[in-house]
Amino acid sequence: MPRKSIDASVTDLAHAVGLIMRRVRATATAEGLSMTESIVISRLAKDGPTTTAELARLEGMRPQSMRTTVSALDKMGIVERKAHPTDGRQVLIALTRHGAELLKTAKDTKRSWLAQAVAQLPTADRETLFAAGDIMLRLAEL
C-alpha cells in the first residue's frame, strides 16, 4: 500500500485536530453560550477589563457586533460595565464572579471529557498522543 503524500497527511492531521476541538468545545456548550460569547469571556479572564471597541479589534469583529455580544453577556450577568479609571467617556467591560465561575466550569468540563476519552486509549496510543502533543507545541512555536 503506498504511503500518503505529505499534503494528504497534513490535511488528515488538520481534520483530526479540528474534530477533536469541536468535540471538546461541544462538551461545554450546556451553558448556552455562543462561540463568540465564549471567546469574549475567555479574553476578559485572560486580559482583564477592556472596552467594547478594544474587544472588537482584538477579535476582528465589527464594534456593532461586539456590542450585541457584550449586551447579551451583560443580560446573563456574565459581564458588567465599569467606569474607566482615567477616561470618563469610556466604559470598561469586566467579567463578573458568575462569569468567571462559568468559564472555570466550562474549562473543567472540557478537560474532564478529554481526560476520559484519552483514558480509553491503549497505553501505547496515549504515549504516542502525548508525544505528538509535545511535537505540536514545538510546531506552534515556529
CATH number at residue 10: 1.10.10.10
Nearest to 55 by CA among 46, 66, 64: 66
Task: Work out the angle at residue 114's Cα, subtended by the Cα atoms of residues 113 and 115, and round it to the nearest 5 degrees.
Answer: 95
- Confidence at residue 27, expressed as pLDDT on a 0 to 100 scale: 77
Strand (E) or helix (H) holding 105: helix 97-119
| 70 within some domain | yes
Position 80 scores a pLDDT of 96
Domain limits for position 77: 6-140
Please report the sign of the dihedral spanned by the C-alpha atoms of residue 120, residue 126, residue 130, residue 136: negative
How much is the pTM? 0.72
Judge whether 82 lies within some domain.
yes
Successive 10-residue mean pLDDT values, the chain, 142 residues: 82 91 75 81 93 93 94 95 86 95 88 93 95 92 88
Examine residue 1 and state whether it is found in any structural domain, yes or no.
no
CB-count exposure of residue 79 (10 Å: 0-12, 13-18, 19+): buried
Domain count, the chain: 1
